[in-house]
Structure 1
């Protein structure tokens, strides 16, 4: 090319102006970059490629010239630098802890049932040192949320004055203006106990907790890919592998500065406030009444109460590990380890009377005597159920449930059901509960069945059988179609 032709000259020939000037060719349609920026910030997974394609289609439809994708991106970058206000947060040593959930979930398989249970990963981080803690959760309810936050503080070795969180229901009830958010009561009590202040991020403003967002990205783009290929059968197995990988990550050198996360954490933990002597425990509270078997039901389990409180109202306060029972006046009565499975009985023998026969209600003699009014097979079933638990008192509710079926289905049906249960060696309350409705049908007289059906259909509109004749229905459809056709004309 001639010596007097330069890159600037070529740019003027091609684009109509020199790149060193601020002018542009007005024949090209200028994108609405404020709208593009709003879409990029508020819509998940939005990309500049998608925005450019939309801009290109609009220009083609209106027969206007459009910028290439590269020019579109360059001009958007310049507009963003000049117009977008972005706050920059400089982390201060020992000041904040950021918490969040990872977007990626894992699967836990129940060995017995094959049920797939999702695992959600809690992530916490100290922004100054970038020291990371993570833990898998099969439940994200308040008790488990409080527990993982306690575990994070223990892992970091201290408490920060501020805790920055997302706007999930475990932390915030409402956060309309960010100035005065309404916090979850349990999480607020957790903060008071640990002498930290909860500072929720602005809604849909991830930059307010950018450090933990970045940590989540590192986990999801890193060893999470290896972990998702492994089968997990219990949460302990998952967390053991997760903690091993997190420990390795905290010891890996930084790419853009010296040392690693552990190095800076050793410096930061000396600035943290000390942990409270006793970790905060989530409390569930409920009022209940002590039954005739000297137990109260709480969270689908049964806990014994001293015999002196039979039939009285009491108050239950439960943490993730303990169940404490108080009288209505607030006097402490007893404490149990929290049940670990549904239907579990937690019984202290000292709470029970020494001689059940001295009590008029709910004892072996009482249930056997009631069974004798039904039949010998029912007596055998009741005796079997009374002996199926270590403590006889734990079977009283099942005995009562079985005997009550005689009122609903009749004595003959219950006796036959008990005979069948004994013959197939399935003497359980569940078997009788599932079997007796079908057995009761055989013992129901035609008059009784008619009466039951009459009650069931009371208030219903009964049609003649000819009303659902196929030819009659087709004729009605044709008439309707002709009527609609005439109205249309």
Structure 2
């Protein structure tokens, strides 16, 4: 007979642990149920275990509902808004692009300002992201911007030549998100929004005079962002990266 979701005799499963374990290669909810049942013979039935986890998932944001396997993908994009610095030589403000790359499993993130959104700047940002993470994902997932995709196509998108050479050199692949499918890349979309609030807000009253100076401030704020515990998981992005992504390299 079914057991209620709550009761004195029930030992409720740790749903955050379940969510994290499901990011591991070959892990399934069925296996986690069997492990739970073995450790807690007086706990929830199989169907109640599944319902308890699904109830938890319903309360998650879109970016957290999607389960990404550890070490697999880094989602990359430019923010719609960027920061700026004052060019003393030209006597004018220079707008910048804002590049963001986030791991699917851990949400660990790299970000920087760029002089433009050209193909060269796009690839250079990827190289610095790889250096920052200390490893290369199995795939990068960009939006269909021109720096990444020459011709968007549902089945065989045409990758920018320079971007393709980068992927070949680093032994990774490029998997463009489907056109007009924001749910294909909710992790980076979510982090762009959070970074705009976290970094842009902190730097709003500062004046910078070159790109290097601006990025130094961005990277200092980025460390605080990655070290801050995530509300849903009680662990920071950096801690989750070491637990969920880094072990597969």
Q: Does 1:107 align with 2:107?
A: no
Deviation string, structure 1 residues 251-289 (Cα, Å, up to 9, x no partner): 1111112221111111221213xxxxxxxxxxxxxxxxx
1:156 paired residue number: 133
Deviation at 1:221, TM superposition (A): 2.3
How many pairs were matched up? 185
1:215 paired residue number: 191
Deviation at 1:179, TM superposition (A): 1.0
1:171 paired residue number: 148
2:17 paired residue number: none
Q: Does 1:198 align with 2:198?
A: no
1:252-267 alignment to 2 at 5 Å?
A: 252-267=228-243
Deviation string, structure 1 residues 404-443 (Cα, Å, up to 9, x no partner): xxxxxxxxxxxxxxxxxxxxxxxxxxxxxxxxxxxxxxxx
2:109 paired residue number: 132
Task: Please say which structure displays the higher CA radius of gyration.
Answer: 1
2:81 counterpart SS class:
strand
Deviation at 1:226, TM superposition (A): 2.6
Whole-angstrom distance in 2 between the partners of 1:223 and 1:154: 21
| Contact 2:83-2:200 within 8 A present in 1 as well | no
1:222 counterpart SS class:
helix
Deviation string, structure 1 residues 201-244 (Cα, Å, up to 9, x no partner): 11121110110000001012223123233211101111111001
1:244 paired residue number: 220
**Alignment equivalent of 1:185, drawn from 161, 185, 196:** 161
Whole-angstrom distance in 2 between the partners of 1:119 and 1:216: 15
1:217-232 alignment to 2 at 5 Å?
A: 217-232=193-208
- TM-score scaled by structure 2? 0.71
- TM-score scaled by structure 1? 0.37
1:389 paired residue number: none
1:231 counterpart SS class:
coil
Whole-angstrom distance in 2 between the partners of 1:144 and 1:150: 10
RMSD: 1.5
**Alignment equivalent of 1:122, drawn from 59, 75, 99:** 99
1:147 paired residue number: 124
Deviation at 1:157, TM superposition (A): 0.9
1:223 counterpart SS class:
helix
Deviation at 1:126, TM superposition (A): 0.7
| Contact 2:77-2:142 within 8 A present in 1 as well | yes
Whole-angstrom distance in 2 between the partners of 1:180 and 1:142: 20
User: Which runs of structure 1 show a deviation greater than 2 angstroms over 4 or more consecutive aligned residues?
Assistant: none
1:31-50 alignment to 2 at 5 Å?
A: none
Whole-angstrom distance in 1 between the partners of 2:204 and 2:144: 27
Q: Does 1:98 align with 2:83?
A: no
2:91 counterpart SS class:
coil
Note the residue ranges of structure 2 that are not aligned, 5 or more in a row.
Answer: 1-64
Deviation at 1:160, TM superposition (A): 1.1
Whole-angstrom distance in 1 between the partners of 2:204 and 2:182: 25
1:261-410 alignment to 2 at 5 Å?
A: 261-267=237-243, 268-272=245-249
Whole-angstrom distance in 2 between the partners of 1:129 and 1:262: 8
Deviation string, structure 1 residues 326-377 (Cα, Å, up to 9, x no partner): xxxxxxxxxxxxxxxxxxxxxxxxxxxxxxxxxxxxxxxxxxxxxxxxxxxx
